[in-house]
Amino acid sequence: MRISFVRGVLFALVVLSVSSTALAQIRISVAFGPPALPVYEQPVCPGDGYIWTPGYWAWDPDAGDYYWVPGTWVLAPEVGFLWTPPWWGWEGGRFLFHEGYWGPHIGFYGGINYGFGYFGVGFVGGRWDGGHFFYNRSITNINVVNIHNVYNETVVHNDVHISYNGGEGGVVARPRPEEEIAEHDRHIGAVEAQTRHFEQARANRDLRASVNQGRPPIAATGRAGEFSGHEIVAAREAGAAYHPPAERGGNAPAVHPKDLPAFERPSAPNTGDANRDRKYQQQQDKLFAKQGQERQQLQQKQEQEHQRMDRQNASQAQRDQMEQRHQQQTQQLQQKHTQQQQRLQERQSPGRRK
């Protein structure tokens, strides 16, 4: 009984550990990094208890493009909770996305300077005291007529707009001990208002990096999910010159079969043996037809899964997981087809014929 009790306690500790860190798991990887963070002003805080959540570049696998999620004010889900922003980091030859979360302490967010109190380490735009949130007037945009919980604390910081950690030109930063401890706090993921907010951002074509060139027309909003009205703030300028994906060290990998390039047929065989050439051409045509059918079948399967997600009103996290799975399926299919074509060509090569 004592052994069983110890095992039960250990199991519970493992479950708690997994649940506390699950929100920080990586869901998306991209071959090239996001644009620089745009320059914009912070809208006025709408009321007590609202926490500023800075804007960031997210990835849309359907569009094969980054899109801007505007900065906005969000009510804290619990008294004492603060927002640790999401961030991109270079690891294993790709840019990996780390999701943001709510918790009693600010964790590591890549050392990214998002501005407005998120200058790469912790948060200095406000603090909780006695069950109330107090705003730092030197950093946050508040109306003192409506909000009386204020203080003044000047903070010196660098004005940089790099949007990712590591890699060429990225921020050089590692988690501090207190940030590593914060990773194991009790966390809450993005609240419903935030989920609606970035779903609307993803659906807005003007927020795509390829369209706005790194200068989104909606850089920040007064409240989450409100993308129109007088509280909308446009970016003053892009944080740096915008470079298309081809200039960022490679194109984004295909997510769906429809994104794959067309099959490249090798030149018609001409070995001098008409029967052999005709047989090889028939094998080639049969293989290409089969591969085209397999692409269509996988495309239809993935589209059905998209439709099912729409009917179920799935969360953004579920959709991101689905897109990552689709990308893996598509890449596996492309690799399989490439190997099949190589084997067919090898059988027709002069050395094989001899």
- Reduced to 3 states (helix: H, G, I; strand: E, B; else coil), residue 295 is helix
Picking from 102, 96, 76, the residue whose alpha carbon sits closest to that of residue 23 is: 102
- Reduced to 3 states (helix: H, G, I; strand: E, B; else coil), residue 306 is helix
pLDDT per residue as tens digits for the range 295-305 = 999 989 998 98
Position 348 scores a pLDDT of: 67
pTM score: 0.65
Q: What are the phi and psi torsion angles at 212 (to 5°)? A: -95, 0
Looking at residues 343-353, what average pLDDT do you find? 63
Picking from 159, 122, 115, the residue whose alpha carbon sits closest to that of residue 140 is: 115
pLDDT per residue as tens digits for the range 243-293 = 877 655 544 566 788 777 777 666 666 767 788 888 888 888 888 889 989
Position 9 scores a pLDDT of: 36
Measured distance CA(162)–CA(85) in Å, rounded: 15
Position 14 scores a pLDDT of: 34
Q: Is the pLDDT of residue 1 over 50?
A: no
**In Å, how far are 65, 255, 320, 326 from 331, measured between CA atoms?**
18, 8, 17, 9
Q: Report the 10 Å Cβ neighbour count for 24.
A: 18
pLDDT per residue as tens digits for the range 68-94 = 999 999 999 999 999 999 999 998 778
Position 193 scores a pLDDT of: 95
pLDDT per residue as tens digits for the range 168-197 = 889 999 999 999 999 899 999 999 999 999
Position 314 scores a pLDDT of: 78
Q: Report the 10 Å Cβ neighbour count for 306.
A: 17
**In Å, how far are 35, 99, 262, 275, 321 from 27, measured between CA atoms?**
19, 8, 29, 52, 6
Q: What are the phi and psi torsion angles at 200 (to 5°)? A: -65, -40
